[in-house]
Copies of this chain bind each other. A is one copy, B any other.
Amino acid sequence: MSAVDKAFHGLRHMIATGRLGPGDRIPPEAELGEELGVSRGPLREAVRMLAALGVVEPRHGSGTYVSQLRPEDVIGSLSLTLELLPLSGLLEVYEIRRVLEAHVAAKAAARRTPETVKTLYSLIESMEATEDPTEASELDHRFHAEVARAAENPTLASLLAVFRARSRKYQVFTLPEGPEMRRKSDADHRVLATAIADRDPGAAAGAAEAHVAQTERWLRAFMPPVEETDGGPEDAPS
């Protein structure tokens, strides 16, 4: 086992067993390195790995701290790399998103508060009022985030936030057909908000699923088709 692995698993074990809890500061590099039997170089590399995964957070001059270990902390690490995936993978992500958006919409409809409804309509009006595609995209994100928040599952909400961030990179609203898409999208939002306001989970799920499916169709239509690399049946050469 390499020195980096020793440090990585050692540190992870200290957190898993509770010796280090959320918010704790881990020992200084020199001290921890001696305890784990590695020098500072590999130890720092292991700490960076855990930082990339959202488990710890180094603060220059202060120390390195264990994160709160909320599900969103760990899931957020995906956002840095999900956009490196090829388009074919993105379509698979859309399928997941469609299922989960439908679920959170239904749950939001069942649990909504008056404040949620008010916020949703407020966001819709802002969306319909703006001309800036970037601002519209931002408001769209907040609208769906609000629906997810109302479903009362922060893990699911942050997972969907990551998926949406990946999709937003494509900026479909800036295309020539953008304004037309915008109007359709706005109409979808009204249908969804109304279903939630009516406490109608079935309608909300249907509206959310249709909305995502629509976005997915736009992406299929305006992005290059998935290309066969060349040797179809081959698997990962590893």
Contact = CB atoms under 8 A, between A and B. Distances in A.
Interface of A: 2, 4, 12, 15-16, 23, 41, 44-46, 48-55, 60, 68-71, 74-75, 77-78, 80-86, 89, 92-93, 95-96, 99-100, 103, 153-156, 159, 236-237
Contacts of A78: 74-75, 77-78
Contact of A53 (B53, B70, B93): B53
Q: Which of A52, A60, A85, A237 is the most central at the interface, judged by chain B CB atoms within 10 Å of its CB?
A: A52
A61 to B, nearest CB: 12
Contacts of A74: 78, 81-82, 84-85
Given A69-B85, A69-B89, A74-B82, 20 more contacts: A23-B237, A41-B44, A45-B48, A48-B49, A50-B81, A53-B80, A53-B81, A69-B86, A70-B236, A71-B85, A71-B89, A74-B78, A74-B81, A77-B77, A78-B78, A92-B153, A92-B155, A96-B156, A99-B99, A99-B103
Q: Which of A49, A50, A81, A156 is the most central at the interface, judged by chain B CB atoms within 10 Å of its CB?
A: A81
Contact of A48 (B4, B95, B153): B4
A95 B53 contact: no
Nearest to A237: B23
Contact of A159 (B77, B80, B81, B96): B96
Contacts of A86: 69
